[in-house]
A and B are shown apart, each in its own frame.
Chain A
Amino acid sequence: MFNYTFQWKQALARLPQMLDGALVTMQIALLSMAIGILLAIVLTMFRLSGIRVLSAIARTWVEIARNTPALFQIYMAHFGLGSFGIYLSPFASILLGITFNNAGYLTENFRGALKAIPDTQARAARSLGFPQAGAFRYVVLPQMLRIAFLPMTNQMVWAILMTSLGVTVGMNSDLYGVTQDLNALTFRTFELFALAAVIFYVITKAITLGARLIAARLFRY
């Protein structure tokens, strides 16, 4: 019947390897967020530019990112590009896929945030002699990032969790990949994945709490 004996010691012995994996996971998530935020700012400016081609690019990006599975996006980054002779490493593929997803979601978040900023803010900046780009950068953008801060935190959590999809493109150095390899080696399936789940949980909680601290420091107004 139920004859699985827990052997936590065996799993715990692998903890250092798993923590190494966790570092890689955080690295992917952080990089994909940093690049994703920059891309989302660019896509937001595309949207606001009034230039049709640019806003079409931004719209298409957002549509695909939000309406297709993240798994598909990561697959495309690896096998899709591979069909065109562009072979990315598993690390680059997962990074590209998650970054694409982040940028799409964040652009949509930024759009919502912009709605909360009255037009009179940009108008006041223009009246002081700021060109359009300067008004955006110094007056609109900081307010937008503040309003979108919570959704950005959520996206960061998502980015962490999405790294687990890396195994589908052969990624084995991140937390999930490491865990899967260890499982194949030791068959301590429940213990290992339970441990991995706890590590994921601790990371995402730390992000949420950390973000709150950062917000309190950054946004004193």
Chain B
Amino acid sequence: MIEIENVRKSFGTLEVLKGIDLTVQKGEVVTVIGGSGSGKSTLLTCINGLEPIDSGRILVDGTEVHAKATDLNRLRRKIGIVFQQFNAFPHLTVLENVMLAQVKVLKRPKAEAEAEAVKQLNHVGLGDKLAVYPSRLSGGQQQRMAIARALAMSPGYMLFDEVTSALDPQLVGEVLDTLRMLAREGMTMICVTHEMKFAREVSDRVAFFHKGVMAEIAPPDHLFGAPRDPELQKFLSATH
């Protein structure tokens, strides 16, 4: 379970998160939508402790992320994250990309790590690209590799930050299909996305962020069918 309690966060004088409360249950899929600069990415990087927060707290399986005593490196193994920018390690093959952290961080034996990597790469449809370097992959393939790399760590949670935003339109579908598959399999996920159709399909709940505030959160039917927040209404009519 991820519990976000009254989290505030500023960059200098700019308050980016203005008291966010959100609880994500095991197995739940929450998508986050909202305009540019509304704080969606910041929230994700706060959840895995890449960014500090100013007040409030975030608990992952009961562990307070920003507590001094928390071993962030250990905690991050539980939380997979995939970013908008392709983050393939260019000096490693696809297989090595997915093996590296398993071997060096989790200390898995090589053979076991390789088996897991192959399994995850097959899962995202890259079983035929094991020996290829990332520079030979399309953007969509690179994103699927990044997903496999995160999944190979056997995380309890996956965070996705607009993983399709940097992709050519014809490649968006294959990545969204991968996310859909994970959702079906019961992975606990928070997905920041601009893909409304996708959000409507996969989400248990959809959260709308506006200027650092979670202005509305509801199951997709409600949020898209009967939006109450005026800013959300504006946002939805602009994106349709």
Contact = CB atoms under 8 A, between A and B. Distances in A.
Interface of A: 118, 120-121, 123-131, 134, 138-139, 142-143, 146, 219-221
B133 interface: yes
Contacts of A125: 89, 101
B104 A124 contact: no
Contacts of A127: 48, 50, 76, 79-81, 150
B73 A130 contact: yes
Contact of A126 (B74, B76, B133, B149): B76
B153 interface: yes
10 contacts: A125-B101, A126-B50, A126-B73, A127-B79, A128-B76, A128-B101, A130-B101, A139-B89, A220-B133, A221-B92
A220 B134 CA distance: 11
Given A128-B77, A128-B101, 5 more contacts: A125-B89, A130-B104, A139-B89, A139-B100, A219-B91
Contact of B101 (A121, A129, A219): A129
A145 B19 CA distance: 44
Contacts, number: 64
A134 B101 CA distance: 10
Interface string B46-82: 0010100000000000000000000001101101110
A129 B153 contact: yes
A129 B76 contact: yes
B233 interface: no
A129 B105 contact: yes
Contacts of B186: none
Contact of B83 (A124, A129, A130): A124
Main secondary structure of the interface of A (DSSP, over half): helix
A124 to B, nearest CB: 4
A120 B77 contact: no
A160 B83 CA distance: 46
A129 B85 contact: no
Given A128-B149, A146-B91, A220-B133, A138 B100 contact: yes
Interface of B: 48, 50, 73-74, 76-77, 79-81, 83, 85, 87, 89-92, 100-101, 104-106, 133-135, 146, 149-150, 153
B91 A134 contact: no
A219 B90 CA distance: 10
A221 B91 contact: yes
A219 B149 CA distance: 22
Given A134-B105, A138-B104, A221-B133, A124 B87 contact: yes
A113 to B, nearest CB: 13
B45 to A, nearest CB: 8
Contacts of B89: 121, 124-125, 139
A221 B135 contact: yes
6 smallest A-B Cβ distances: which pairs?
A124-B87, A128-B101, A221-B133, A129-B77, A129-B105, A129-B76
Given A128-B150, A221-B133, A121 B87 contact: yes
Contacts of A120: 83, 85, 87
A138 B76 CA distance: 17
A133 to B, nearest CB: 11
A123 B50 contact: yes
A220 B92 CA distance: 9
Contacts of B135: 221
A143 B91 contact: yes
A138 B99 CA distance: 12
Given A128-B150, A143-B90, A134 B104 contact: yes
A121 B89 CA distance: 7
B48 A130 contact: no
Given A123-B50, A221-B133, A131 B87 contact: no
Given A134-B105, A221-B135, A128 B90 contact: no
Contacts of A129: 73-74, 76-77, 101, 105-106, 153
A115 B190 CA distance: 32
Contacts of A131: 73
